[in-house]
Amino acid sequence: MTRPVKVEVVDDDVAVAREAARIVASESRLRVAECGRFVMAMSGGRTPWKMLRALADEVVPWSSVHVFQVDERIAPAGDPDRNLTLLQESLLSRVPLPPGQVHAMQVEDRDLYGAVVKYERTLARIAGEPPVLDLTQLGLGTDGHTASLVPGDPVLDITDRNVGLTAAYRGRGRMTLTLPMIGRSRMILWVVTGAEKATMLNRLLSSDISIPAGRIAQGRAVLIADRAAAGRT
């Protein structure tokens, strides 16, 4: 992994959310002006949901935006564990994004392997072949995971697919974008908050490939952290 192009440390999680929202909005306007559309993938997590609420107040050309999921827990529709549930509450219910431009992982399907293939086809239809996302927003777990790429899971070894399924992690199996899919993103936006993340953030910035987050092949990347995560309290 190459060190992120830009590391920005701000005071707290609210400031992280606002700055990340500003970056997403700015990138959306730039890409729509350049090529007519903006394709992003969003992760779950406490700070990303705050970022999504802040994004609803930004100037974004929503009619030209497509939203994918970075990962999703295998759970029924509407379940509070679902990232989509919080995505809908934090952002989708508050902005004029056309419903057909929200691409949810169909984790409630009985045939999950078929759902993986369908999601890959949707990615290719919207983002090209191979698909390239304009922006992928990632978080960082206290065990070094990102997306649902968790330590020791075989999904980390996938090199020829864009979407994969994980074993159970914290009580749920997951569907996730793979390392190659994330690594092709035009921008990777890391959003990291909390003192409990400080050790893993250090390892991420030290290009430690022994943690899943450290295996993300980054091109143009930005990392926004609060003072606690950066060890500056």
* Tokens at 101, concatenated: 């431009």
Sign, CA dihedral 62-63-65-68, equals positive
pTM for this one?
0.95
Decide if 25 contacts 60 (C-beta within 8 A): yes
Nearest CA to 133 among 227, 14, 218? 218
Average pLDDT, the chain: 94
Return the percentage of the chain with pLDDT > 70, whole number. Answer: 97
* Tokens at 191, concatenated: 């959003």
56-95 pLDDT, tens digit per residue, is: 999 999 999 999 999 999 999 989 889 999 999 999 999 9
Cα–Cα distances in Å, from 110 out to 56, 80, 102, 116?
A: 33, 20, 21, 12
Single-letter amino acid, residue 75: A
Residue with tokens 């440390």: 9
Alpha helices per DSSP H over the chain: 13-35, 46-55, 83-87, 112-127, 179-183, 198-205
Q: Which domains does the chain have, with CATH numbers?
A: 6-226 (3.40.50.1360)
Q: Is the peptide bond before 131 cis (omega within 30 degrees of 0)?
A: no
Decide if 5 contacts 221 (C-beta within 8 A): yes
Confidence band (pLDDT; 50, 70, 90) for 171?
confident
* Tokens at 207, concatenated: 């290009």
Count of all residues that appear for the chain in the document: 233
* Tokens at 176, concatenated: 């996730």
